[in-house]
Structures are given as C-alpha cells and as structure tokens.
C-alpha cells in the first residue's frame, strides 16, 4: 500500500496578515496599558471615575481615589479621620482645616476615611494598608460602642480581600497589581461598569461625597430606626469577652508604626427629657471605664502616657434634634457644628503635626 506524504505547510511570511495582526494587537495592548498607567498617575486622573480595588465597596474605592488625588496634589497627609458611618457623616475635613488655619495661621491637610459598618478590627486592617502609602501624621479614630464588636452590620469581608491582605502578611500577585497597576484596576472597573445595576449602586453609595471623603447625611430620618447598638444590655456586655479588648489593643498598636493616635468619642443623641437615662447609665458605668482603662494601660506599658481620649457627649447634648439625622449620625447642619468644634480642639494641639 503506497504511503501518502503530505507536504508541510508553507512558512508564514514575515509580512503575512497573521503576524501583522498579532504585532498590532500586542502594540495596541502595550500602549493601552502604558497609557492607563500614565493617566492614573497624572493630574488628569481627577477626571476619571474611581478604579476598582476589588473590595466590593464603591464608597471605599471612591475615597481611596480621592485620597490619592489629594496627596498627589499637596504632597502630604497630616490627619486622617477613621471610623464607621459616624466619622463618614459627622466630620468635614474642609471645615476642620479652615478653623485650624484661622486659629493657628498654619495649614494642615486632612481626609475623612470613615466607612459605614467599620469596626475596630477592620479599621485596624484598613489603617495598616493606608499607613505605608499615605503616611498620615495623626489618626483620629471615632469610636462608638458598636465598633467594638458589631454582629448586626460589619464589613469583615474586607479582611479577606487581596488589597488588604497584601500589607498584612499575605502578599500575592493580585494584591501587588491592585496596589501598583492602574491599568489592572481600571480593567476591573470597566468590567463592573458593563453591568448597569453596578453603575446605579456606585452612584447611590457615593452620593454627596466630597473630594475630602466627607459624606454628609441630609435632613432628618423620620422616623428614627430603632437604636439596636445603644441599648443598656449591649452596653453592659460590650467588653464581655477578650476578643473586644484584643481588637482594641491591636488598634492602639498602630502607634508602633510611627503614627499618632487620638481616640475621639463618637457623639450620640441625648433625649432632653432624660428618657434614655438607663442607656447612658450603662454607657458611663459599663462601657466607658474599661475603654479608658485600656487607653491608660497601653500608654503605661509603652511609656507614652495615656492615649488621648477626646470626649464629645457634652457637645452632643447641645446640638438640637433638628441637626441630627438619627440617633447616632449628625446631618449636614450638625456636622458643621461638630467639625468646627473639632477644628478648635485640634488647633489647641499644633504639636501633633510636628
């Protein structure tokens, strides 16, 4: 039986359409990547929407985008306001900076990195990501009883994201890309934007957000939702297990990374008729003393004195109900009062930034 020998296919010519197409594709891909890298690092990035950090949180991504733009523009970060939704809605860095400048003649640059549902554990993780890159001189952490351990609403899933884990002892290729490759981050964002509900969700989550990370609450929530996190039962059990103390001590240990830490008491609404007296009795008898003891103990053990704790409830009692959004959040009018007070307090401690 004769053997059939098929001739080999002719070699691809150097100027063949296949090679030209492949070369054009690679060149276009390289130009797009380099272009996005250059654009993401330039002042023109301010005209772009936030890129993705793959954290499933559009507000956090928008705030990191704004923080990158601010530090790129001014070259430093003096104070960072960190905490849960109370920080997010109560502190306007622009007003704090204005009052500080009026009273000291000096300029500071601040940013609000408050994030709804943040707890002390996730705040510590977020700070560990922020510190190496943005190097704030002072962190003001606003604390509420629910921040110690909230099982009702939290963002614990952030702890498992590559963006967070990269600076917490679990580096990965994707974590590196999310921190250093704008082309990859905008590729992920583009995939999100292809889905229309994602665009609507992004607009909803970042509504009213200012360039300094402040997101004021508008009007008054009517009726107020039940205040499940400020009940006498929860306040008396706030420090019931070692887990809460360990999480708070981890937050305090951020000072070992070269940043100053101020604990800011989160303001809350007080009923004028005293009908919430039992709640505040539990606050001052069961919640606050262990917190102050931890601040004192940590300072003594590390030779730095007691970690500063700035009380706010006296001010909270003076803010009328019309300036509260709900039990725990000031609205845009209340935020003006609180931010002016905070600016005045910081102006009395100008050595914080030296």
**65 domain residue, yes or no:** no
> Band of the pLDDT at 223, cuts 50, 70, 90?
confident
Cα dihedral 243, 127, 162, 172 in deg (nearest 10): -110
Question: What is the structure's pLDDT at 28?
Answer: 77
DSSP state, residue 99:
H
Phi/psi for 134 (5° steps) reads -105, -20
Mean pLDDT on 158-176: 95
225: exposed, middle or buried (C-beta count within 10 Å: 0-12, 13-18, 19+)?
A: exposed
d(CA 270, CA 316): 7
- pLDDT value of position 190: 93
What value does the mean pLDDT take over residues 135-164?
A: 92
Q: What is the pLDDT of residues 115-130, one digit of tens each?
A: 999 999 999 999 999 9
Let me know if residue 22 belongs to a domain: no
Query: What does DSSP say about strands 79-82 and 110-112: parallel, antiparallel, or unpaired?
Result: parallel
| pLDDT at res. 17 | 80
Tell me, yes or no, whether 70 lies in a domain: no
Query: Does residue 272 belong to any structural domain of this protein?
Result: yes
Helix axes 182-193 and 173-180, enclosed angle (nearest 10) = 90
Q: Is the pLDDT of residue 109 over 80?
A: yes
Structure confidence by residue, pLDDT tens digits, 8-56: 666 655 567 877 777 777 777 777 778 778 878 888 888 889 999 999 9
Within 8 A by CB and 6+ apart from 188, the residues are 51, 52, 54
pLDDT score of 5: 63
Question: Which residues touch 246 (CB under 8 Å, ≥6 apart)?
Answer: none
Per-residue model confidence (pLDDT) at position 63: 98
User: Lowest-confidence range among 7-21, 216-230, 291-305, 320-334?
Assistant: 7-21
What would the pLDDT profile of 263-310 be if each residue is shown by its tens digit? 999 999 999 999 999 999 999 999 999 999 999 999 888 888 778 999
Contact present, 238 and 342 (Cβ < 8 Å) = no
The DSSP symbol for 334 reads H
Is 9 part of any domain? no
Judge whether 17 lies within some domain.
no
- Residue range 335-352, pLDDT digits in tens: 999 999 999 999 999 899
Look at the chain and report how many structural domains it folds into: 1
> Beta strand 138-143 with 79-82: parallel, antiparallel or unpaired?
parallel
- Buried b or exposed e, range 83-116, using 16+ CB within 10 angstroms: bbbbbbbbbbbebbbebbeeeeeeebbbbbbbbb
The model's pTM: 0.90
Q: How far lies 68's CA from each of 41, 91, 303, 321, in Å?
A: 9, 19, 34, 36
- 14-28, 69-83, 140-154, range with the lowest pLDDT: 14-28
Domain encompassing residue 133 = 76-155+212-353
Which domain CATH number covers 298?
3.40.50.1110
The order of strands in the sheet holding 138-143 is 110-112, 79-82, 138-143, 260-265, 309-310
190 located within any domain? no
Cα–Cα distances in angstroms (integers) from residue 313 to residues 236, 266, 337, in the given order = 19, 8, 13
Burial class (CB in 10 A: 0-12, 13-18, 19+), 328: buried
Dihedral, CA of residue 250, residue 251, residue 253 and residue 256, to nearest 10? 140
**Residue 263 backbone phi and psi in degrees, to 5:** -90, 120
Q: Is residue 95 part of a domain?
A: yes
Whether the pLDDT of residue 97 is over 70: the answer is: yes
């Amino acid at each position: 039986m004769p053997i059939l020998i098929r001739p080999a296919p002719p070699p691809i010519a150097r100027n063949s359409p296949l090679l030209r197409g492949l070369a054009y594709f690679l060149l276009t891909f390289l130009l797009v990547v380099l272009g996005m890298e250059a654009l993401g690092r330039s002042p023109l990035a301010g005209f772009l929407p936030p890129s993705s950090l793959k954290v499933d949180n559009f507000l956090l991504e928008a705030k990191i985008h704004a923080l990158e733009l601010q530090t790129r523009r001014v070259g430093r970060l003096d104070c960072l306001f960190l905490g849960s939704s109370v920080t997010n809605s109560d502190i306007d860095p622009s007003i704090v900076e204005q009052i500080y400048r009026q009273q000291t003649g000096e300029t500071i640059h601040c940013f609000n990195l408050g994030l709804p549902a943040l707890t002390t554990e996730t705040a510590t993780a977020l700070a560990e990501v922020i510190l190496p890159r943005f190097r704030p001189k002072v962190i003001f952490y606003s604390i509420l009883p629910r921040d110690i351990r909230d099982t009702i609403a939290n963002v614990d899933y952030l702890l498992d994201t590559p963006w967070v884990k990269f600076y917490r002892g679990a580096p990965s290729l994707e974590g590196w890309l999310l921190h250093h490759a704008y082309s990859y981050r905008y590729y992920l964002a583009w995939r999100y934007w292809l889905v229309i509900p994602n665009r609507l969700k992004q607009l909803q989550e970042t509504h009213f957000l200012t360039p300094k990370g402040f997101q004021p609450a508008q009007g008054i929530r009517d009726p107020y939702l039940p205040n499940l996190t400020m009940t006498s039962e929860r306040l008396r059990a706030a420090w019931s297990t070692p887990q809460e103390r360990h999480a708070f001590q981890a937050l305090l240990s951020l000072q070992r990374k070269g940043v100053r830490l101020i604990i800011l008491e989160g303001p809350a609404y007080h009923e004028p008729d005293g009908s919430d007296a039992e709640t505040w009795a539990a606050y001052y008898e069961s919640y606050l003393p262990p917190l102050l003891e931890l601040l004192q103990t940590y300072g003594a053990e590390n030779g730095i004195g007691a970690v500063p704790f700035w009380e706010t409830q006296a001010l909270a009692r003076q803010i009328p109900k019309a300036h509260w959004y709900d039990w725990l959040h000031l609205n845009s009018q209340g935020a003006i009062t609180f931010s002016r007070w905070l600016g005045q307090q910081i102006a009395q401690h100008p050595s914080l930034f030296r």
